[in-house]
Structure 1
Amino acid sequence: MTKLSDVRVVATSVLVSVSDVVLNLVVAIFTGSTVMLSQALQGLSDLVTGGLLFVGVKRSKRKADAKFQFGYGREIFFWVLIASIIMFVGTGAMSVYFGYQQVVYPSELDNIWLALTMLVFGLATNGYAFSLSLRRLREQGDLQGEKWWRQLAHSSLIETKATFAIDFLGTSAAILGLLAIVSYVATGFAQFDGVGSIVIGLTMMAAAAMLINDIRDLIVGRGVDDETLRKITKSTLSVKGVNAVLDLKTMFVGSSKLFVVVEVHLQDSFTTDQIEHIIDEIKRDVRKNVPIVRHIQVEVETPDDELRV
C-alpha cells in the first residue's frame, strides 16, 4: 500500500471544506436552518484552517540553509496555531451565537429534505477525509512500533492532528446536525435546530483549545515521551564500547522531526578513530530504532565521580 503523505491528507481536507462551504450555505439559505449555517461556518473555518496547514506543510519542507541550519520544520507549529485560533473563534463561537439566536427566537424550517440530504452527503465526505487522517496516524504508529492513539497523544505530527480534529469534527457535526433536524421533524420544536448548532460550536471550541495546548508545548520545545527515551537509551547502550548514557536531551524541530543530544561514557583506551567509529554506530542504531530522529549529536564525556578522583 502506498504511503500516505501529509500533503494528501491536508489537500483532501481542504477539498471537503470547499464542498461544505458552498453546499451548506446554499442549503442554509433555502431552509433557514442554523444547523446548516453552522455546517457552512465550519466548512469556511475548516477551509481557511486547511489552507493555512497546506501552506505550513509546504514551507516547513524547505531545506536547511545558513540562517536556519536545522531546517524550517518548526514553522508548521506557527501555522497550526493560527489555524486553531481561527477554528476556535471563527467556527466555534459563531456557531454557538447563531444557535443561541435560534433557541431564543425560533423560526420554522423549510425544505427539510434538502437539509437531510446535504447532511448525509457531508457525513460521507468528512468521513472519508477523517479516514485518511486516521490512516496516516496508523502508518506513523506502525513506523514507530506504536498504536495510533499514542501518535495522537504524544507525536509532533501536528498538521495531521489538526486535520484529524477538523475531519472528526466535520463528521461529528454532520451526525449532530442529523439528530437535530430529525428531532425537529419529530417534535416540531425549532429549538432543536439551535441546540444542535450550539453543541457543534462547543465541540469545536474544545477541540481547538486542545490543539492550542499541544502546539504551545511544541513551540516551547517539548521532547519525546518516556518510552521513546528508553528506546534511544537502549539503542545507544547496545553499541559495543559504551559504558553508560550520562545525559539525554530531545526536542522536536518539526513535524515528526526529532533533535537528540546524548552524552556517553566510553570504555578506556580507545583511539580517536575507534571513538569516531563508535559515535557513527550510535547514530546509525538510534536512527534505525527511532526513525523520527532527524539530527543527533553524540558527546563523549567523563562521569563526574571519575573527574573528582
Structure 2
Amino acid sequence: MPEADVKTESVGTVVVAGAANLAIAVAKLVAGLISGSAAMLSEAAHSVADTTTEALLYLALRRGARPADVRHPFGYGKESYVWAFLAALFTFVAGAGFAITHGVTTILVHEHSGNYLVAYVVLAVSFAVESVSLARATRQIRAESRRWNTTPRRFLRLTADTTVKAVFLEDSAALIGLLLAAVGLGLSHLTGDELYDGLASIAIGLLLLVVAITLAKANISLLVGRSVPERLRHEIAAELDGLPAVERIDTLLTMQLGPEDMLVAAKVDFRDDATGADIEAAADEAERRLTARYPEIGYVFLDPTPSRPETRNRRTRHIQDEPPR
C-alpha cells in the first residue's frame, strides 16, 4: 500500500486529537502554574503525553503504509505497531509516572498557593475541546463497525487499527481525568485540604496506567502475529469451502500484517477428480472472492493437500484454535 494511500480517516482522527491535545497542554500548564494545583499539573502532563502519543501514532500510520520491497516482501504494516507500542510506553512513563509522583508529593507537602478560578475555566474549555476530538474518533469507530457488520464495542476490542483505538481510549481517559481533576480541585478549594487535589492527581496517573497497559498489550499481540477475528476466519473458511473443486479445508491460518493488511494461508484437500488446471482455477477464484469481499486481504496462499486413506479419518484443524484467555 503506497504511502499516499494511508487511511485518510485515521490520519484525520490522529491530527485532530494531536492539535487539540497540544493546545490543551499549554492551557493546563499555565493554569497549573497559576493555581498551584497538583491535579491540574498532572492533567498538563497527561495532555503532553497524549500530544507526543499522537505524533508517534501519525508516524506509525506513515511508516506502516510503505509498500513492500525485496527485503520486506509483506510490507511494513507491523512497523506501525512498533511506534504505537512506543506511544503506549510514553504514556506510561511520562503521563502516569508524573501524575502519581506529583500527587504523592502534594499530599506529603500539603501546600497550595494560587488562584482556583483560572483552573476551573481551563478545565471547562479542555472538556469541550476533548469532547470534539472524542466525537470524531467515535464517528470513525461507528462507521468502521458498520462496515464490518459488528458492534462498536467489539470492533474497538478486535480492530488491528491501533491508532483509532489509541485516540478513542486516550480521549476517553482525558475526559475522565478532567472530571477527576475538577472534583479534587473543588474539594480542596472547599475544605482547604490539599489531600483531595493530590488524590485526584494519583487517580489520573492510575487511569493513564490502565490505558497504557491496554494499548501496550494490544500492540504486542499484533507484533507477535495475531490472527484475524474468529468470525472473520469462519467466513473465510466458508468462502474456501464453497469452491467447487475443494473437498475440505484441513488447516486455515491467518495473520494481521498491518492495520489494513491480512494474510490467509490454507492447506486444502481438493476433490480426487480435480485436475491441475482445476486447482489453479480454484486458487485464482479463491483469491478473487476473498479480496473482493475483504479488500484488506493482501495475500492468499493455498497448499494442495493430497487425500490419503490413512488421513481421511484423522482429526484435522479446520481453523485456528483460540488462544487460552
Shorter-chain TM-score range: over 0.9
Question: How far off its partner does 1:186 sit?
Answer: 3.0
Indicate conservation of the 8 Å contact 1:232/1:290, yes or no: no
Indicate conservation of the 8 Å contact 1:65/1:71, yes or no: yes
Cα distance in 2 between the residues matched to 1:118 and 1:304 = 73
Question: How far off its partner does 1:306 sit?
Answer: 5.8
Q: 1:99 aligns with which of 76, 99, 103?
A: 103
Q: 1:137 aligns with which of 135, 141, 162?
A: 141
Indicate conservation of the 8 Å contact 2:11/2:58, yes or no: yes
1:218 alignment counterpart: 222
2:232 alignment counterpart: 228
**Alignment of 1:51 onto 2:67:** no
Indicate conservation of the 8 Å contact 1:81/1:215, yes or no: yes
Alpha-carbon distance change, 308 to 38 in structure 1, aligned in 2, over 3 angstroms:
closer
Between stretches 112-121 and 232-241, larger displacement belongs to 232-241
**Alignment of 1:147 onto 2:147:** no
Partner-residue secondary structure (3-state), 2:166: helix
Partner-residue secondary structure (3-state), 1:47: helix
Q: Where do residues 104-143 of structure 1 align in structure 2 (5 Å cutoff)?
A: 104-143=108-147
Q: 1:2-40, CA deviations, whole angstroms, 9 ceiling, x for partnerless residues?
A: x96111111111101211221111111111111110111
Partner-residue secondary structure (3-state), 2:264: strand
Indicate conservation of the 8 Å contact 1:228/1:290, yes or no: no
TM-score, structure 2 length as denominator?
A: 0.89
**Alignment of 1:60 onto 2:64:** yes
Question: How far off its partner does 1:54 sit?
Answer: 0.7
Q: Where do residues 171-186 of structure 1 align in structure 2 (5 Å cutoff)?
A: 171-186=175-190
Cα distance in 2 between the residues matched to 1:232 and 1:239 = 12
TM-score, structure 1 length as denominator?
A: 0.93
Between stretches 190-199 and 282-291, larger displacement belongs to 282-291
Indicate conservation of the 8 Å contact 1:144/1:290, yes or no: no
2:258 alignment counterpart: 254
1:14 alignment counterpart: 18
Q: 1:215-252, CA deviations, whole angstroms, 9 ceiling, x for partnerless residues?
A: 11111111123222111111111222222111100111
Question: How far off its partner does 1:305 sit?
Answer: 3.7
Q: What is the identity, as a one-letter code, of the residue corresponding to 1:197?
A: S
Indicate conservation of the 8 Å contact 1:252/1:258, yes or no: yes
Q: Equivalent pairs: percent with the same residue?
A: 25
RMSD, aligned α-carbons: 1.9
**Alignment of 1:242 onto 2:246:** yes
Between stretches 210-219 and 91-100, larger displacement belongs to 210-219
Partner-residue secondary structure (3-state), 2:98: helix
1:270 alignment counterpart: 274
Q: What is the identity, as a one-letter code, of the residue corresponding to 1:162?
A: A
- Long gaps (5+) in structure 2: 1-6, 314-325
Alpha-carbon distance change, 304 to 156 in structure 1, aligned in 2, over 3 angstroms:
farther
Q: How many residues align?
A: 307
Q: What is the identity, as a one-letter code, of the residue corresponding to 2:91?
A: M
Q: What is the identity, as a one-letter code, of the residue corresponding to 1:147?
A: T
